[in-house]
């Protein structure tokens, strides 16, 4: 007897845009420019443009498995480039423009990307990073701006993606490759502080998308207009470039501006129903409305993640905006969503990040990695596994998981009797400010290299707006050194938003029994 069978249907990400183009051709992707103008395009037209991107990249020698880097804001050009890269089987390597050229160059060197797609205003950073990276052969400007190209006259490797697309047809083949192929690459500070590349796969992101669409997670509908404030260069944009087209919803991209006035205007003009971003974004929106007045009647729900939500801020947002705040927890290594509060849950609370959906499993362990006897109630070290969870970091032959496939998140957590998770702290020293990681070790090394400094430590201090902000504690051997001199190596060596908010001088740095700086004591005294 021969058993029946189902059709072989590879779970590749190009299918989301192809589906939207066929069944929701006129549903819009709306992209806002810095000057306030808005650009609209339907999924059918955008699908053709994305295939033209694939053809243009193919002409430049890009093939399946090659990394193509992007340094760009949330725009139409970035969106269609995502699909152009991913659809042909190449890997979209997103770069964070908030990092330094040295940081970006190091990531480019690791990815070995030869093509870099750039928002015009980021061209100077792109050129500097490409020098550091070494392998970039072509820089193509998104959202065609001839002025930026003219300003770069004489640099043969800089051109317009729009011009390259115009010479191509949209008949290049999409898909037709294994669903386990890589689709994206995003670097994160990780749980150890060292930048690590997380490789997303088509299958992992496809399953992540289907999980997000469930009613108890994000529950996006075809009549939703989703404002994607979370950057496309960070944590796979929380999967929204796949989730929204999957149901034919309107995707609203704010460009580089995420201030309150800009977001309020977009929400009103596009009748946004769902906004997604870190808590500080919505604080800026509230402050704008409190100052200027006005309401946002279309806004029904805000999904927050990336940083803890202070209770007072959650109450303030819900009262002023009239929208429900939905909390979540995740990380880059999880594609990125791990858990989410149920939409409309009357028992929702700012410190509770919801339950895992099917495809994500959680485990609490002791510090040695042994499972706690009781998983509900006690605090433990949080581990996670599933088809959308990192198995191995980019370029690393060693697994990122333990022998049973569990990934150590570096977080401490409790799980209540209903299965809701509450993140109670982090086992590592990384500081999470506004949803972004800050690595204290890098700053400690730079300041500690000053001859006038004996010991230096950076810790996070609770901040009502950003969740945490770094402060610098120093023991000096020369009292004459002033604060600006202490900060000088940081201004040259790290991103501006890493700069500590305060400097505290100590007569004697507290030391643990091991002889290392006692950060537990420092956090207790100054955190």
The percentage of residues in the chain with a pLDDT greater than 90, rounded to a whole number, is 73
User: Above 90 in pLDDT, residue 170?
Assistant: no
Q: In what order do the strands lie in the sheet with 467-476?
A: 453-463, 467-476, 502-505
**Cβ count within 10 A of residue 35:** 7
According to the model, what pLDDT value does residue 514 have?
Answer: 44
The secondary structure of residue 386, as a DSSP letter, is S
| Beta-ladder partners of 474 | 456, 505
The secondary structure of residue 213, as a DSSP letter, is T
| Residue 495's pLDDT band (cuts 50, 70, 90) | very high
Q: Beta 324-330 vs 337-340: how paired, if at all?
A: antiparallel
Given the structure tokens 């023991």, which residue do they identify?
475
According to the model, what pLDDT value does residue 104 have?
Answer: 94
User: Above 70 in pLDDT, residue 161?
Assistant: yes
- What's the average model confidence in pLDDT over 104-132? 94
492's CB contacts (< 8 A; 6+ apart) are none
CA distances in angstroms from 403 to 199, 374, 399, 400, 408, listed in the order given: 20, 21, 9, 10, 12
Given the structure tokens 């309150």, which residue do they identify?
260
User: Above 50 in pLDDT, residue 107?
Assistant: yes
Reported as a single tens digit per residue, the pLDDT across 258-271 is: 999 999 999 999 99
Q: What is the dihedral of CA 29, 32, 33, 38, to 10 degrees?
A: 80
Cis-peptide, bond into residue 429, ω within 30° of zero: no
- What's the whole-model pTM score? 0.86
According to the model, what pLDDT value does residue 429 have?
Answer: 78
According to the model, what pLDDT value does residue 229 have?
Answer: 95
Return the active site residues: 188, 333, 432, 437
Reference 307, options 205, 191, 227, 423; nearest CA is 423
10: helix, coil or strand? coil
470 membership: H or E segment, kind and range: strand 467-476
Phi, psi of 509 (to 5 degrees): -70, 130
| Residue 108's pLDDT band (cuts 50, 70, 90) | very high
318's CB contacts (< 8 A; 6+ apart) are 324, 325
Reported as a single tens digit per residue, the pLDDT across 183-225 is: 999 998 543 456 799 999 999 999 999 999 999 999 999 999 9
According to the model, what pLDDT value does residue 224 have?
Answer: 98
User: Above 70 in pLDDT, residue 152?
Assistant: no
Q: 244-248, 252-256, 341-345: which range is least confident on average?
A: 341-345
**Contact indicator for 458, 473 with CB cutoff of 8 Å:** yes
Domains of the chain: 14-325 (3.40.50.12780), 352-426 (2.30.38.10), 431-526 (3.30.300.30)
Reported as a single tens digit per residue, the pLDDT across 40-94 is: 999 999 999 999 999 999 999 999 999 999 999 999 999 999 999 999 999 999 9
- What's the average model confidence in pLDDT over 235-239? 93
- Rounded to the nearest integer, the mean pLDDT of the chain is 91
According to the model, what pLDDT value does residue 354 have?
Answer: 95
Please give the residue that has the higher pLDDT: either 122 or 423.
Answer: 122
Reported as a single tens digit per residue, the pLDDT across 335-363 is: 999 999 999 888 888 889 999 999 999 99
Reported as a single tens digit per residue, the pLDDT across 388-444 is: 999 999 999 999 999 999 999 998 899 999 999 998 877 777 898 998 888 887 888
411: helix, coil or strand? strand
């Amino acid at each position: 007897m021969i058993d029946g069978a189902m059709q072989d249907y590879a779970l590749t990400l190009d299918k989301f845009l192809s589906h939207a183009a066929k069944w929701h051709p006129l549903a819009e992707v709306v992209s806002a420019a810095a000057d306030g103008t808005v650009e609209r395009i339907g999924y059918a037209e955008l699908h053709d443009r994305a295939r033209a991107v694939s053809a243009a990249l193919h002409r430049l020698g890009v093939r399946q498995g090659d990394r193509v880097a992007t340094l760009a804001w949330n725009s139409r050009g970035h969106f269609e480039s995502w699909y152009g890269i991913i659809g042909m089987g190449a890997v979209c390597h997103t770069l964070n423009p908030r990092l330094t050229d040295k940081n970006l160059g190091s990531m480019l060197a690791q990815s070995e990307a030869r093509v870099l797609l750039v928002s015009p205003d980021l061209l100077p950073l792109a050129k500097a990073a490409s020098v550091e990276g070494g392998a970039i052969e072509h820089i193509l400007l998104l959202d065609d701006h001839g002025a930026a190209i003219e300003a770069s006259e004489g640099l043969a490797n800089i051109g317009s993606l729009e011009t390259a697309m115009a010479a191509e047809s949209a008949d290049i083949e999409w898909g037709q490759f294994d669903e386990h192929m890589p689709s994206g690459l995003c670097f994160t500070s990780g749980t150890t502080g060292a930048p690590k590349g997380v490789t997303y796969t088509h299958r992992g992101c496809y399953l992540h998308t289907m999980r997000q669409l469930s009613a108890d997670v994000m529950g996006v509908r075809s009549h939703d207009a989703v404002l994607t404030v979370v950057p496309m260069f960070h944590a796979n944009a929380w999967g929204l470039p796949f989730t929204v087209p999957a149901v034919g919803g309107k995707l609203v991209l704010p460009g580089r501006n995420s201030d309150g006035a800009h977001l309020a205007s977009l929400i009103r003009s596009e009748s946004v129903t769902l906004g997604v971003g870190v808590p500080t974004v919505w604080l800026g929106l509230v402050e704008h409305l409190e100052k200027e007045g006005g309401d946002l009647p279309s806004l029904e729900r805000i999904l927050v993640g990336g940083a803890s939500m202070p209770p007072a801020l959650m109450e303030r947002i819900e009262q002023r905006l009239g929208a429900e705040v939905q909390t979540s927890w995740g990380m880059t290594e999880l594609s990125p969503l791990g858990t989410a509060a149920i939409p409309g849950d009357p028992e929702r609370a700012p410190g509770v990040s919801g339950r895992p959906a099917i495809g994500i499993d959680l485990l609490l362990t002791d510090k040695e990695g042994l499972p706690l006897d009781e998983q509900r109630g006690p605090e433990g070290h949080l581990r996670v596994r599933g088809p959308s969870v990192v198995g191995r970091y980019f370029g690393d032959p060693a697994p990122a998981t333990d022998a049973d496939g569990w990934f150590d998140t570096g977080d401490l957590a409790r799980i209540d009797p209903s299965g809701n998770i509450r993140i109670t702290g982090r086992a590592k020293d990384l500081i999470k400010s506004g949803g972004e990681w800050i690595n204290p070790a890098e700053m400690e090394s730079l300041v500690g290299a000053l001859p006038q400094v004996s010991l230096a430590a950076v810790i996070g201090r609770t901040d009502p707006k950003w969740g945490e902000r770094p402060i610098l504690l120093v023991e000096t051997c020369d009292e004459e050194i002033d604060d600006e001199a202490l900060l000088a190596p940081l201004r040259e060596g790290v991103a501006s938003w890493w700069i500590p908010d305060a400097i505290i001088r100590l007569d004697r740095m507290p030391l643990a029994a091991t002889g290392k700086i006692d950060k537990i004591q420092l956090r207790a005294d100054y955190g």
